[in-house]
Chain A
Amino acid sequence: MFLINCPYCGERDQQEFKAGGEAHIERPKQPTELSDDEWAEYLFMRKNIKGVQFERWNHAHGCRKWFNMARDTSNDEIKAIYKIGEKPPTQ
């Protein structure tokens, strides 16, 4: 449980948000040409990092907009919040 600074609404309780899992997993551009292995990689395989991870969040009980977050999963500390479409921070 922690506070999240929604880029559209400001700081709110984490309860209002829905975690959307790992970010920057690109949808295959040509799905018909994908092998089973590539589909498995896209659908199921996750880095599940212990440390700083880029992930998607949705302000489900607020503005309902999606955004990205860099969060340290070992202590739940939020390092950065950035909008969908923006590149992840390098630091």
Chain B
Amino acid sequence: MRNKYSIFSLFKNALTYHENWQRAWKDPPPKKEYDAVIVGGGGHGLATAYYLAKKHNVQKIAVVEKGWIGGGNTGRNTTIIRSNYLWDASAGLYDHALKIWEGLSQELNYNVMFSQRGVMNLAHNLQDVRDLKRRTHANRLNGIDAVYLNTEEVKKFCPIINTSQDIRYPVLGGTLQRRAGTARHDAVAWGYARGADEMGVDIIQNCEVKGIKRSGDTVEGIETTKGFIKTKKIGVVAAGHSSVVANMAGLKLPLESKPLQALVSEPVKPIIDTVVMSNAVHAYVSQSDKGELVIGAGTDDYISYSQKGSHQIVEGTLNAILELYPIFSRMRMLRQWGGIVDICPDASPILSKTSIKGLYFNCGWGTGGFKATPGSGDLFAHTIANDEPHKLNAAFNLNRFVSGDLVDEHGAAAVAH
């Protein structure tokens, strides 16, 4: 039985210089066979395993991860959580996740530091204003909190924004979702890993998938660097490397993998207590609890798995940041990184069965998957356990690229994709 984290356990462990904390998860060798194997130990994969064990009573589950858990995009994103998407299908999906976020720390007994500090999206031209107003109405019809702010209200909500009308892209207004915010990305992976491990899920790190074995149109197991693992159900949650795993099974996906960059500044005292995003000038910024400014840049337009983005992408983002926040002009950037994101033609994810029985894909989250982590895990677990999608992820099937029933969030969400 796992010890609960509490003020008392903290006190008790302080007495022994924090040297006797129980391990948060085990490090087992793979068994010969599992009921389900999840490929990818990021937030989405660990959440999938957690909900498979918790809600669907699947007994033997493994998560295989080629590096270490939470070491990919989960551990290096800008941690923004919001659900103010335009289309009904997206609103349902992302608000489902947001509702789980609201109780996640309590459920996992792990502080994911979910902070509902609000997310503001800025409008810089008349089309932005129209789009954001339309989205505000659409959000309200879907029961998602949203308000439209004029320039003065934007300034009042975040006083450091330069709202003068003589800048190149003046702020004409914005939307605000107050329930939105940020969370501590590592804690999400660790919390789900600890929760899954407690229910008997084997988390196998440094274990890369090398092949998918199938007989006819049914999966039989996976070849890994730690040997063959037999299983009837494989859930692939491999983010930027989804196509690589799909190609092993002879499948093609409608994805392109591109480097997405983010950067953080040196830590400073609290200066911005919300998240501000601007699609038109491509700049978004928030401040971490450590005091660093967390800044998201864009993707390069070419396919690459190199985890290196181009310098001009960062330069463009910082130009925009400086015009909107002149107060940051002397900030120094501490570090920058690039992660590989898998982007769908319609900028919406895929949570779906495939033409191969027992093979499921959860991919295509592109530049904004972190916010959906709990909802994605919950719905993907449902899809794997029942061999059919939940009504909230039915629209996000792979077949939509054949039927033409796309969930076109490109630009529609008024944020960077």
Contacts and interface: CB of A to CB of B under 8 A. Distances in A.
A48 B403 contact: no
Contacts of A46: 243, 252-256
B312 A45 contact: no
Contacts of A41: 252
A74 interface: yes
Contact of A75 (B244, B302, B306): B306
A55 B312 contact: no
Contacts of B309: 1
B304 A44 contact: no
A80 to B, nearest CB: 16
Given A18-B301, A40-B402, A50-B244, A45 B252 contact: yes
A62 interface: no
B308 interface: yes
Interface residues of A, number: 26
Contacts of B342: 48
Interface in A5-59: 14-15, 18-19, 21-22, 36-37, 39-41, 43-50, 53, 55
A76 B310 CA distance: 11
B402 A37 contact: yes
Contacts of A55: 302-303
A53 B258 CA distance: 14
Contacts of A73: 257, 303-306
Nearest to A74: B305
B354 interface: no
A46 B251 CA distance: 10
Contact of B306 (A15, A44, A45, A74): A74
B211 interface: no
Interface string B256-281: 11000000000000000000000000
Output the residue of A18, A37, A39, A45 with the most chain B CB within 10 A.
A45
B110 interface: no
Interface string B368-395: 0000000000000000000000000000
23 contacts: A1-B309, A1-B312, A14-B310, A15-B312, A19-B303, A21-B256, A36-B402, A36-B404, A43-B345, A44-B254, A44-B401, A45-B252, A45-B253, A45-B254, A46-B254, A46-B256, A47-B243, A48-B244, A49-B243, A55-B303, A73-B304, A73-B306, A74-B306
**Nearest 4 pairs between A and B by C-beta?**
A19-B302, A48-B243, A1-B310, A44-B254
